[in-house]
């Protein structure tokens, strides 16, 4: 199973990019023993449309176009479910057991994601009630994916 993090916007080179790559590599290494083929990050260019609704629609279409057939879709959404790390790991493990081709985690732009894309989500995931910058959300998500792989592998990284 592949894990894809699809995000609107591009990270500039710097500490944020380094942290994303560090956790992506760790999660990929730990995940190989679990049947996870790869953990990849796909950046979607922000729409240049002036109208917020049109920007949201264009970005949502670009994100929808990268969803592989048979994939579970997870939206990062401030109104979503607050899962504990073990709960996220269990859900990823269940999708793996269900032979899903991939799990796609989607981080929308500042205007959010279209209702049609939200309807495709198997899970809407929140990192608390606070509003987070997209760069930090990407880092937190990759860390949680690394943590999930260590939980599934029985590695002592996660101490709850």
Q: CB count, 10 Å around CB of 13?
A: 7
Taking the chain (160 residues) in runs of 10, the rounded mean pLDDT of each run is 96 92 96 92 95 95 95 93 95 96 95 90 93 91 97 82
Q: DSSP strand E in the chain: where? A: 2-8, 38-44, 72-81, 102-107, 123-125
pLDDT of 159 reads 67
94 is in which domain, residue-wise?
Answer: 2-153
Q: Is residue 114 part of a domain?
A: yes
Q: Is residue 141 part of a domain?
A: yes
Q: What is d(CA 4, CA 68) in angstroms, rounded to the nearest whole number?
A: 10
Q: Is residue 134 part of a domain?
A: yes
Q: How many domains does the chain have?
A: 1
The CATH number of whichever domain residue 26 belongs to comes to 3.40.1280.10
Sign of CA dihedral 121, 127, 128, 133: negative
Q: Is residue 158 part of a domain?
A: no
pLDDT of 155 reads 84
For 116, counting Cβ atoms within 10 Å of its Cβ (0-12 exposed, 13-18 middle, 19+ buried), the class is exposed
Q: Which residues pair with 102 in a beta bridge?
A: 2
Please state the pTM of the whole predicted model: 0.94
Q: Is residue 65 part of a domain?
A: yes
Q: Is residue 91 part of a domain?
A: yes
CA 83 to chain CA centroid, Å, is 14
Q: Is residue 160 part of a domain?
A: no
Residues in the chain: 160
């Amino acid at each position: 199973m592949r894990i894809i993090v699809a995000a609107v916007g591009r990270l500039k080179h710097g500490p944020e990019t380094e942290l994303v790559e560090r956790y992506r590599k760790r999660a990929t290494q730990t995940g190989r023993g679990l049947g996870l083929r790869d953990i990849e990050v796909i950046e979607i260019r922000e729409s240049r449309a002036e109208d917020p609704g049109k920007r949201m629609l264009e970005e949502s279409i670009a994100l929808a176009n990268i969803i592989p057939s048979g994939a579970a879709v997870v939206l990062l959404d401030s109104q979503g479910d607050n899962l504990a790390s073990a709960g996220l790991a269990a859900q990823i493990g269940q999708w793996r057991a269900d032979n899903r081709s991939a799990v796609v985690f989607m981080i929308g732009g500042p205007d959010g994601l279209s209702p049609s894309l939200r309807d495709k989500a198997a899970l809407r995931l929140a990192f608390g009630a606070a509003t987070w910058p997209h760069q930090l959300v990407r880092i937190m998500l990759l860390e949680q994916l690394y943590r999930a792989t260590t939980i599934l592998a029985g590695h002592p990284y996660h101490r709850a």
